[in-house]
Amino acid sequence: MKRRSLLAFPLAAAAFPIQALAQGTYPDKPIKLIVPFAPGTALDIVGRLAAAGASEELKVPIVVDNKLGASGVIGTEVVAKAAPDGYTLLFTAPAHYINQFVFASLPFDAVKDFRPVTKVSNAQLVMVAGKSSPFTTAKQVIEFAKANPGKLRYSSSGLGGTIHLAFSLFNQMAGTTIEHVPYTSGSQALTDVIAGHLDITFTAIATALPQAKAGNLKLLGVSGLKRSSAMPEVPTISEAALPGFELTSWGGALARNNVPDALIEKLNAAFLKVAQRSEFQAKLVAAGIEPDPLGTGAFAKQIEAEVPKWKRLVESTGAAHSQKQ
Protein backbone atom coordinates (compact mmCIF):
# COMPACT_ATOMS: atom_id res chain seq x y z
CA MET A 1 0.00 0.00 0.00
CA LYS A 2 2.82 2.39 0.91
CA ARG A 3 4.65 1.62 -2.33
CA ARG A 4 1.54 2.42 -4.39
CA SER A 5 1.06 5.74 -2.58
CA LEU A 6 4.66 6.78 -3.10
CA LEU A 7 4.49 5.92 -6.77
CA ALA A 8 1.23 7.81 -7.25
CA PHE A 9 2.44 11.00 -5.59
CA PRO A 10 4.91 12.13 -8.30
CA LEU A 11 2.20 11.65 -10.91
CA ALA A 12 -0.24 13.81 -8.98
CA ALA A 13 2.44 16.41 -8.30
CA ALA A 14 3.40 16.48 -11.95
CA ALA A 15 -0.21 16.86 -13.04
CA PHE A 16 -0.95 19.77 -10.70
CA PRO A 17 1.19 22.43 -12.42
CA ILE A 18 -0.31 21.46 -15.78
CA GLN A 19 -3.85 21.85 -14.43
CA ALA A 20 -2.96 25.12 -12.73
CA LEU A 21 -1.38 26.42 -15.93
CA ALA A 22 -4.47 25.44 -17.93
CA GLN A 23 -6.72 27.28 -15.48
CA GLY A 24 -4.41 30.30 -15.50
CA THR A 25 -4.65 30.69 -19.28
CA TYR A 26 -8.35 29.81 -19.54
CA PRO A 27 -9.99 30.53 -21.84
CA ASP A 28 -7.64 30.38 -24.81
CA LYS A 29 -10.05 29.07 -27.46
CA PRO A 30 -13.73 29.49 -28.39
CA ILE A 31 -16.39 28.44 -25.88
CA LYS A 32 -19.54 26.68 -27.05
CA LEU A 33 -22.82 27.68 -25.38
CA ILE A 34 -25.52 25.08 -25.95
CA VAL A 35 -29.09 26.41 -25.95
CA PRO A 36 -31.38 23.35 -25.89
CA PHE A 37 -34.36 25.18 -27.38
CA ALA A 38 -35.18 26.77 -30.73
CA PRO A 39 -33.69 29.98 -32.14
CA GLY A 40 -35.87 33.00 -31.47
CA THR A 41 -37.29 31.74 -28.18
CA ALA A 42 -36.96 33.92 -25.09
CA LEU A 43 -34.17 31.69 -23.76
CA ASP A 44 -32.30 31.89 -27.05
CA ILE A 45 -32.57 35.68 -27.10
CA VAL A 46 -31.11 35.96 -23.60
CA GLY A 47 -28.41 33.38 -24.28
CA ARG A 48 -27.20 35.15 -27.41
CA LEU A 49 -27.09 38.55 -25.73
CA ALA A 50 -25.25 37.10 -22.73
CA ALA A 51 -22.81 35.21 -24.95
CA ALA A 52 -21.96 38.33 -26.94
CA GLY A 53 -21.19 40.31 -23.81
CA ALA A 54 -19.28 37.55 -22.02
CA SER A 55 -17.24 36.97 -25.16
CA GLU A 56 -15.94 40.53 -24.90
CA GLU A 57 -15.07 40.03 -21.23
CA LEU A 58 -13.28 36.71 -21.75
CA LYS A 59 -11.58 37.77 -25.02
CA VAL A 60 -12.62 34.63 -26.89
CA PRO A 61 -15.63 33.86 -29.11
CA ILE A 62 -18.64 32.26 -27.42
CA VAL A 63 -20.54 30.34 -30.08
CA VAL A 64 -24.25 29.72 -29.47
CA ASP A 65 -25.39 26.32 -30.71
CA ASN A 66 -29.09 25.42 -30.64
CA LYS A 67 -29.51 21.70 -29.98
CA LEU A 68 -33.24 21.29 -29.56
CA GLY A 69 -35.51 18.33 -28.95
CA ALA A 70 -37.13 16.28 -26.19
CA SER A 71 -37.89 19.34 -24.04
CA GLY A 72 -34.23 20.27 -23.88
CA VAL A 73 -32.86 16.80 -23.17
CA ILE A 74 -30.93 16.46 -26.45
CA GLY A 75 -28.92 19.64 -26.02
CA THR A 76 -28.36 19.00 -22.33
CA GLU A 77 -26.94 15.56 -23.07
CA VAL A 78 -24.33 17.17 -25.34
CA VAL A 79 -23.03 19.19 -22.40
CA ALA A 80 -23.27 16.24 -19.99
CA LYS A 81 -20.95 14.23 -22.27
CA ALA A 82 -18.52 17.08 -23.01
CA ALA A 83 -15.10 17.33 -21.40
CA PRO A 84 -15.24 19.15 -18.02
CA ASP A 85 -12.85 21.84 -19.26
CA GLY A 86 -15.17 24.86 -19.31
CA TYR A 87 -15.38 25.03 -23.10
CA THR A 88 -18.91 23.59 -23.40
CA LEU A 89 -21.61 25.31 -21.36
CA LEU A 90 -25.39 25.03 -21.14
CA PHE A 91 -27.75 28.00 -21.23
CA THR A 92 -31.04 26.69 -19.98
CA ALA A 93 -34.28 27.18 -18.04
CA PRO A 94 -36.21 25.39 -15.26
CA ALA A 95 -37.06 22.63 -17.77
CA HIS A 96 -33.55 21.34 -17.04
CA TYR A 97 -34.66 20.37 -13.53
CA ILE A 98 -38.31 19.64 -14.37
CA ASN A 99 -37.42 16.95 -16.92
CA GLN A 100 -36.09 14.57 -14.27
CA PHE A 101 -39.64 14.33 -12.91
CA VAL A 102 -41.34 14.07 -16.31
CA PHE A 103 -39.22 11.51 -18.19
CA ALA A 104 -39.03 7.86 -17.25
CA SER A 105 -35.25 8.07 -17.56
CA LEU A 106 -32.58 10.55 -18.64
CA PRO A 107 -29.02 10.05 -19.91
CA PHE A 108 -27.72 12.38 -17.17
CA ASP A 109 -28.51 13.53 -13.64
CA ALA A 110 -29.83 17.10 -13.83
CA VAL A 111 -28.56 17.95 -10.34
CA LYS A 112 -25.43 15.85 -9.83
CA ASP A 113 -23.96 16.23 -13.33
CA PHE A 114 -24.23 20.02 -13.53
CA ARG A 115 -23.37 23.08 -11.48
CA PRO A 116 -24.80 26.60 -11.71
CA VAL A 117 -22.65 29.40 -13.12
CA THR A 118 -24.78 32.54 -13.43
CA LYS A 119 -28.46 33.42 -13.58
CA VAL A 120 -29.19 36.17 -16.09
CA SER A 121 -32.94 36.68 -16.36
CA ASN A 122 -36.49 35.93 -15.37
CA ALA A 123 -39.22 35.45 -17.95
CA GLN A 124 -42.89 35.69 -17.13
CA LEU A 125 -45.51 33.89 -19.14
CA VAL A 126 -48.63 35.59 -20.42
CA MET A 127 -52.01 33.95 -20.93
CA VAL A 128 -53.21 34.65 -24.47
CA ALA A 129 -56.27 34.08 -26.63
CA GLY A 130 -56.84 34.55 -30.35
CA LYS A 131 -58.11 37.84 -31.75
CA SER A 132 -61.63 36.42 -32.23
CA SER A 133 -61.86 35.10 -28.68
CA PRO A 134 -64.56 36.56 -26.41
CA PHE A 135 -62.07 36.67 -23.52
CA THR A 136 -60.12 39.77 -22.51
CA THR A 137 -59.21 38.81 -18.92
CA ALA A 138 -58.20 35.72 -16.97
CA LYS A 139 -61.21 36.26 -14.70
CA GLN A 140 -63.54 35.83 -17.69
CA VAL A 141 -61.77 32.57 -18.54
CA ILE A 142 -62.39 31.27 -15.02
CA GLU A 143 -66.03 32.30 -15.03
CA PHE A 144 -66.70 30.64 -18.39
CA ALA A 145 -64.79 27.48 -17.45
CA LYS A 146 -66.79 27.06 -14.24
CA ALA A 147 -70.11 27.63 -16.03
CA ASN A 148 -69.15 25.34 -18.92
CA PRO A 149 -67.00 22.44 -17.62
CA GLY A 150 -64.95 20.73 -20.34
CA LYS A 151 -65.73 23.35 -22.98
CA LEU A 152 -62.41 25.21 -22.91
CA ARG A 153 -59.13 23.78 -24.22
CA TYR A 154 -55.59 25.03 -23.86
CA SER A 155 -52.53 24.13 -25.91
CA SER A 156 -49.05 23.45 -24.56
CA SER A 157 -45.59 22.46 -25.71
CA GLY A 158 -46.03 18.99 -24.17
CA LEU A 159 -46.70 17.01 -21.01
CA GLY A 160 -44.75 18.31 -18.04
CA GLY A 161 -43.59 21.44 -19.86
CA THR A 162 -43.78 24.91 -18.35
CA ILE A 163 -47.09 25.74 -20.08
CA HIS A 164 -48.66 22.49 -18.89
CA LEU A 165 -47.49 23.17 -15.35
CA ALA A 166 -48.78 26.76 -15.49
CA PHE A 167 -52.25 25.63 -16.51
CA SER A 168 -52.24 22.79 -14.00
CA LEU A 169 -51.55 25.33 -11.27
CA PHE A 170 -54.21 27.63 -12.77
CA ASN A 171 -56.82 24.85 -12.78
CA GLN A 172 -55.96 23.84 -9.21
CA MET A 173 -56.22 27.37 -7.85
CA ALA A 174 -59.30 28.34 -9.88
CA GLY A 175 -61.19 25.08 -9.44
CA THR A 176 -61.59 24.72 -13.21
CA THR A 177 -61.16 21.83 -15.64
CA ILE A 178 -59.75 23.49 -18.76
CA GLU A 179 -58.70 20.59 -20.99
CA HIS A 180 -55.12 20.06 -22.09
CA VAL A 181 -54.10 19.56 -25.73
CA PRO A 182 -50.34 18.87 -25.82
CA TYR A 183 -48.24 19.67 -28.88
CA THR A 184 -44.63 18.84 -29.63
CA SER A 185 -43.55 22.50 -29.75
CA GLY A 186 -44.56 25.78 -28.18
CA SER A 187 -44.65 27.51 -31.57
CA GLN A 188 -47.30 25.13 -32.94
CA ALA A 189 -49.28 25.41 -29.70
CA LEU A 190 -49.36 29.18 -30.13
CA THR A 191 -50.10 29.04 -33.87
CA ASP A 192 -53.29 27.05 -33.28
CA VAL A 193 -54.50 29.54 -30.67
CA ILE A 194 -53.86 32.39 -33.10
CA ALA A 195 -55.80 30.46 -35.75
CA GLY A 196 -58.69 29.89 -33.34
CA HIS A 197 -58.38 26.10 -33.25
CA LEU A 198 -57.84 26.20 -29.48
CA ASP A 199 -59.00 28.68 -26.88
CA ILE A 200 -56.00 29.79 -24.84
CA THR A 201 -52.39 29.12 -23.97
CA PHE A 202 -49.50 30.56 -22.02
CA THR A 203 -46.44 31.78 -23.88
CA ALA A 204 -43.34 33.85 -23.15
CA ILE A 205 -43.90 37.61 -23.16
CA ALA A 206 -41.07 37.95 -25.69
CA THR A 207 -43.00 35.63 -28.03
CA ALA A 208 -46.41 37.23 -27.44
CA LEU A 209 -45.41 40.87 -27.89
CA PRO A 210 -45.02 40.96 -31.69
CA GLN A 211 -48.17 38.88 -32.21
CA ALA A 212 -50.16 41.16 -29.91
CA LYS A 213 -48.86 44.28 -31.66
CA ALA A 214 -49.91 42.74 -34.97
CA GLY A 215 -53.42 42.24 -33.59
CA ASN A 216 -53.26 38.44 -33.60
CA LEU A 217 -53.46 37.87 -29.84
CA LYS A 218 -55.29 39.16 -26.80
CA LEU A 219 -53.21 39.42 -23.62
CA LEU A 220 -55.21 38.18 -20.62
CA GLY A 221 -52.75 38.24 -17.72
CA VAL A 222 -49.11 37.67 -16.80
CA SER A 223 -47.88 34.87 -14.56
CA GLY A 224 -45.62 36.73 -12.13
CA LEU A 225 -46.48 38.61 -8.96
CA LYS A 226 -45.52 41.93 -10.54
CA ARG A 227 -46.63 43.38 -13.85
CA SER A 228 -44.16 43.13 -16.70
CA SER A 229 -42.37 46.33 -17.67
CA ALA A 230 -42.75 45.19 -21.28
CA MET A 231 -46.55 45.25 -21.06
CA PRO A 232 -47.43 47.22 -17.91
CA GLU A 233 -51.06 47.60 -18.99
CA VAL A 234 -51.61 43.84 -18.61
CA PRO A 235 -52.50 42.83 -15.04
CA THR A 236 -51.03 39.88 -13.24
CA ILE A 237 -53.29 36.87 -12.89
CA SER A 238 -52.63 37.15 -9.16
CA GLU A 239 -54.06 40.65 -8.87
CA ALA A 240 -56.93 40.20 -11.31
CA ALA A 241 -58.18 36.67 -10.70
CA LEU A 242 -56.17 34.30 -8.49
CA PRO A 243 -54.30 35.86 -5.54
CA GLY A 244 -50.90 34.26 -5.14
CA PHE A 245 -50.75 32.70 -8.61
CA GLU A 246 -47.15 32.68 -9.79
CA LEU A 247 -45.14 30.67 -12.28
CA THR A 248 -42.10 32.14 -13.98
CA SER A 249 -39.09 30.86 -15.86
CA TRP A 250 -35.44 31.92 -15.78
CA GLY A 251 -32.42 31.85 -18.04
CA GLY A 252 -28.97 30.96 -16.80
CA ALA A 253 -25.68 29.26 -17.53
CA LEU A 254 -24.72 25.84 -16.17
CA ALA A 255 -21.51 23.84 -16.52
CA ARG A 256 -20.46 20.24 -15.99
CA ASN A 257 -20.30 19.48 -12.27
CA ASN A 258 -16.57 18.74 -12.29
CA VAL A 259 -15.41 21.87 -14.10
CA PRO A 260 -12.75 23.34 -11.75
CA ASP A 261 -13.81 26.10 -9.36
CA ALA A 262 -11.29 28.54 -10.82
CA LEU A 263 -12.91 28.26 -14.25
CA ILE A 264 -16.42 28.63 -12.82
CA GLU A 265 -15.28 31.81 -11.06
CA LYS A 266 -13.97 33.26 -14.32
CA LEU A 267 -17.14 32.40 -16.19
CA ASN A 268 -19.38 33.75 -13.45
CA ALA A 269 -17.42 37.01 -13.26
CA ALA A 270 -17.85 37.54 -17.00
CA PHE A 271 -21.54 36.63 -17.26
CA LEU A 272 -22.45 38.50 -14.09
CA LYS A 273 -20.67 41.67 -15.19
CA VAL A 274 -22.58 41.60 -18.47
CA ALA A 275 -25.92 40.81 -16.81
CA GLN A 276 -25.54 43.82 -14.48
CA ARG A 277 -24.94 46.35 -17.26
CA SER A 278 -27.78 48.82 -17.77
CA GLU A 279 -27.57 48.61 -21.56
CA PHE A 280 -27.80 44.82 -21.47
CA GLN A 281 -30.76 44.96 -19.13
CA ALA A 282 -32.49 47.50 -21.38
CA LYS A 283 -32.23 45.04 -24.28
CA LEU A 284 -33.85 42.32 -22.18
CA VAL A 285 -36.70 44.60 -21.11
CA ALA A 286 -37.31 45.62 -24.72
CA ALA A 287 -37.70 41.92 -25.55
CA GLY A 288 -40.16 41.36 -22.70
CA ILE A 289 -37.65 39.68 -20.40
CA GLU A 290 -36.87 40.74 -16.83
CA PRO A 291 -33.20 41.12 -15.80
CA ASP A 292 -32.34 39.17 -12.65
CA PRO A 293 -28.58 38.63 -12.36
CA LEU A 294 -27.43 36.21 -9.68
CA GLY A 295 -23.95 34.90 -9.06
CA THR A 296 -23.07 31.24 -8.65
CA GLY A 297 -23.92 30.89 -4.95
CA ALA A 298 -27.24 32.75 -5.03
CA PHE A 299 -28.27 30.97 -8.23
CA ALA A 300 -27.53 27.59 -6.63
CA LYS A 301 -29.67 28.48 -3.60
CA GLN A 302 -32.60 29.48 -5.82
CA ILE A 303 -32.41 26.20 -7.74
CA GLU A 304 -32.21 24.19 -4.52
CA ALA A 305 -35.37 25.89 -3.27
CA GLU A 306 -37.24 25.47 -6.57
CA VAL A 307 -36.63 21.80 -7.34
CA PRO A 308 -39.03 20.42 -4.68
CA LYS A 309 -41.75 22.81 -5.92
CA TRP A 310 -41.37 21.59 -9.50
CA LYS A 311 -41.47 17.98 -8.28
CA ARG A 312 -44.75 18.52 -6.43
CA LEU A 313 -46.33 20.34 -9.36
CA VAL A 314 -45.37 17.66 -11.90
CA GLU A 315 -46.68 14.94 -9.62
CA SER A 316 -49.98 16.79 -9.28
CA THR A 317 -50.48 16.71 -13.07
CA GLY A 318 -50.21 12.94 -13.34
CA ALA A 319 -47.36 13.35 -15.82
CA ALA A 320 -44.60 12.17 -13.49
CA HIS A 321 -42.12 9.88 -15.29
CA SER A 322 -44.62 9.42 -18.10
CA GLN A 323 -42.49 10.48 -21.04
CA LYS A 324 -39.94 8.60 -23.10
CA GLN A 325 -37.28 10.26 -25.20
Mean pLDDT of 147-160: 92
Q: How confident is the model at residue 319 (pLDDT cuts 50, 70, 90)?
A: confident
pTM, full prediction = 0.84
Residue 150 neighbours by CB under 8 Å, 6+ apart: 177, 179
Mean pLDDT of 251-269: 97
- What pLDDT score was predicted for residue 215? 97
- What pLDDT score was predicted for residue 2? 39
- What pLDDT score was predicted for residue 240? 96
Kindly report, residue by residue over 2-26, the tens digit of the pLDDT. 333 333 333 433 444 444 445 579 9
Q: For domain 124-240, say whether CATH 3.40.50.2300 is its number.
A: no
* Residue 130 pLDDT greater than 80, yes or no: yes
- Look over the chain and give the mean of its residue pLDDT values, rounded to a whole number: 91
Q: Within the chain, which residue ranges are assigned CATH 3.40.190.150? A: 31-122+248-317
- What pLDDT score was predicted for residue 81? 97
Kindly report, residue by residue over 81-119, the tens digit of the pLDDT. 999 999 999 999 999 999 999 999 999 999 999 999 999
Q: Within the chain, which residue ranges are assigned CATH 3.40.190.10? A: 124-240
Q: For domain 31-122+248-317, say whether CATH 3.30.565.10 is its number.
A: no
- What pLDDT score was predicted for residue 325? 66
Sequence-ordered strand ranges (E) for the chain: 31-35, 62-66, 88-92, 114-130, 153-156, 179-182, 200-204, 217-222, 248-256, 290-294
Mean pLDDT of 31-49: 94
* Residue 283 pLDDT greater than 50, yes or no: yes
Q: Say how far apart CA 275 and CA 289 lie, in whole Å.
A: 12
